[in-house]
Structure 1
């Protein structure tokens, strides 16, 4: 009976999605970087410094094989459409070795940023992107290191009605020590609710992403008239010094009215 009920609930969910005309769409074509914009710290917009972002065998790859040293070239590649209510899913894996000259904390560290300002508005030398991050981490072979965490740069979130000002909050995911593919899904309902899933399991929930007026970059955005409560923006994949591969990057637009 439990199996029948589970199947019934799943079918109802599928029918609801179809009724609203919602379908998963692939937003990375596996051939080139069309539809994506590159911003690397210290470089002009779309200057793909040392071929950091590239397409290899149908995967979107962050590579450092042309670097001698990292030189704080923190980078992001942005999907070219502003989003508010959506699900994003992808698979990722860390490969190879971290580039020389990179910070220790960036070992097997990447992420998906969302509710970001547009890449063309980011100052040339700005390292950190003001946004919410679904953080992606890999293990070192020994210590627990969950993935699918939330990190906030120039922002805060709320959990259980409480304002959270810590930079990162760990999820309940397991640690993935090797180079296996891991599935991430983030479900974003504007400013109201955000859910992280790893390999199909919910590992973190929070709400009300908002700008932190004590951060100079966020304070500048507030001065420009950007609302404190973040309900929309751009998504971006991070390049933080460790080679990482992404594949099967898909988007589902949720038909929800702002509340």
Structure 2
């Protein structure tokens, strides 16, 4: 730019030079984004089939997708009851194959249609959820209704003008600390708006092991709590060995619920916040909050540095 400035009048040249200096300063202040900033989201749902997922429906063995409850059609993961004669407390959960501990989880869902025949009641209408921090699904009893877990509860408005928040917390076989003390009830409402109709909702959970868990709805924070641990009630027909009351829960399996109301899911994505925190490694990420040294990858001849 300075070379071009010499070809114009002096007064104009000064303006041109000043503009060049300001442009250079602005460029210097703009951070350069490198691979350490690139977020590597994992698509848990591939949009084609249920690869990586295993159903567990109350009254049925692990892996038995009773009445084709969970299916993939038109690129959507669908929860359906059109092959049920009656719901009959057949609460179901679709488990992902790997456990996680520190992560961000995004699920985009919508409620559709009508509740399954002979559903458990109005409370279960437009009601579903994502279960976090579960023990392995093989620990569930055949007739167990819910996995011992932290539930991020999805609720849709009933069109009656009454407030009904979504991304609430429910605690089957668990407890949490909310505002400094153990929360005594089974469910805790979020501050979200009531979402009526069949609109798509973006639910996000930020999970930091046995520390803090935060819920978001369409990008807005609506609930936060901490110290998830085994305890309390809200679950039946479980193996007591899978519920060591008072023990903090550092991580576990994620599952998607079938609770009698049809649901569509178009996205299930996870950003793992546990990983390499050594700046000298090729897979170092600034967004990692939990160090996993054995996950680090180094270029040939490179030496490990300090995990931050």
Normalised TM-score (structure 1): 0.88
1:247, CA displacement in angstroms? 1.0
Higher relative contact order (CA 8 A, sep 6+): 1
Equivalences for 1:26-175 in 2 at 5 Å?
26-104=43-121, 105-142=123-160, 143-175=162-194
Instruction: Describe the SS at the equivalent of 1:247.
Output: strand
Q: How many residues align?
A: 244
- Contact conserved, 1:213 with 1:219, CA < 8 A, in 2? no
1:220, CA displacement in angstroms? 2.9
Normalised TM-score (structure 2): 0.75
1:219, CA displacement in angstroms? 4.1
- Contact conserved, 1:145 with 1:175, CA < 8 A, in 2? yes
Q: Give the strand-richer structure, 1 or 2.
A: 1
Distance 1:152 1:15 in 2: 40
Residue 257 in 1 paired to residue 276 in 2? no
Instruction: Describe the SS at the equivalent of 1:120.
Output: helix
The residue that corresponds to 1:220 in the other structure is 241
Distance 2:239 2:40 in 1: 34
- Contact conserved, 2:141 with 2:239, CA < 8 A, in 1? no
Structure 1: stretches of 5+ with no match in the other structure: 1-10
* 1:170-221 Cα deviation digits (max 9, x unpaired): 0010011100000000000001110100000000000000111667747432
- Contact conserved, 1:188 with 1:194, CA < 8 A, in 2? yes
Distance 2:239 2:203 in 1: 27
Residue 202 in 1 paired to residue 235 in 2? no
1:74, CA displacement in angstroms? 0.4
1:257, CA displacement in angstroms? 2.8
Distance 2:66 2:221 in 1: 36
Distance 1:120 1:211 in 2: 18
Distance 1:221 1:27 in 2: 25
* 1:148-168 Cα deviation digits (max 9, x unpaired): 101001110001221112111
Alignment RMSD, CA only? 2.1
> Which structure has the greater CA radius of gyration?
2
Structure 1 residues 222 and 167 mapped into 2: Cα distance closer, same or farther (>3 Å)? closer
Match of 1:185 among 199, 204, 208: 204
